[in-house]
């Protein structure tokens, strides 16, 4: 599992909470102040507080690309009330969503969902520019490609899967165009001038 964690014990003890009385997605989930920060090294730091210790319970850190389909990326034992931190050492580029699932025995509940954006220099590029016949597009995410003239009229429109792809631009007349690359899954748009030889 990606990530590392740190436990920060609280100064005072509070009684155990019976998770059997918590409903999934309950507003009474004992997770407070969930916050995320993208560090300079590109890692995502998640921090939260709990004022309750649940007998034999765990925090499961979950991540999603779309805000609805989550995958577990780390587990921390809920020992004592206090502050917890989980660092996602391998976050996805672009927009990602995180939540904490607290589980004990057969019961569970979720925290609120928070979003982060991690930028990446190589997540979407095109070359050569100026271009002759073939434009190469490299993207870590599926990408919508739109080439328009100076008036905004669409001339080339295509949806490409992630990876290295070639787009035929030989039908374009020599001139200056605008290329827009939209990565819906990463919530990222790149729009630049494209010169056709």
Nearest-angstrom CA–CA distance, 81 and 14: 7
Q: Is the pLDDT of residue 127 over 80?
A: yes
- Residue range 9-52, pLDDT digits in tens: 333 333 333 333 444 444 445 677 778 787 766 788 899 888 76
DSSP type of residue 16: B
pTM for the complete prediction?
Answer: 0.51
Does 93 lie in the same domain as 177? Answer: no
* Structural domain span for residue 76: 4-118
Nearest-angstrom CA–CA distance, 83 and 4: 15
Does 141 lie in the same domain as 108? Answer: no
Number of domains forming the structure of the chain: 2
Contact between residue 132 and residue 110 where contact means Cβ atoms under 8 Å apart: no
Does 189 lie in the same domain as 159? Answer: yes
Domain CATH code at residue 60: 2.60.40.10
Contact between residue 62 and residue 72 where contact means Cβ atoms under 8 Å apart: yes
């Amino acid at each position: 599992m990606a990530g590392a964690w740190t436990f920060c014990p609280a100064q005072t003890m509070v009684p155990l909470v019976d998770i059997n009385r918590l409903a999934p997605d309950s507003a009474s989930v004992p997770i407070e102040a969930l916050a995320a920060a993208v560090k300079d090294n590109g890692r995502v730091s998640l921090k939260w507080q709990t004022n309750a210790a649940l007998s034999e319970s765990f925090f499961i850190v979950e991540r999603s690309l779309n805000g609805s389909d989550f995958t577990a990326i780390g587990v921390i034992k809920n020992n004592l009330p206090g502050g917890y931190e989980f660092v996602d050492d391998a976050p996805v580029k672009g927009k990602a969503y995180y939540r904490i699932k607290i589980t004990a025995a057969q019961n569970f509940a979720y925290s609120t969902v928070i979003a982060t954006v991690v930028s990446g220099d190589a997540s979407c590029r095109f070359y050569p520019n100026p271009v002759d016949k073939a434009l190469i597009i490299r993207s870590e995410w599926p990408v919508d490609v739109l080439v328009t003239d100076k008036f905004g009229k669409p001339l080339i429109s295509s949806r490409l899967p992630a990876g290295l792809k070639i787009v035929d631009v030989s039908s374009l007349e020599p001139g200056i165009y605008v290329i827009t690359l939209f990565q819906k899954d990463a919530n990222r748009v790149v729009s630049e001038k494209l010169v056709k030889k």
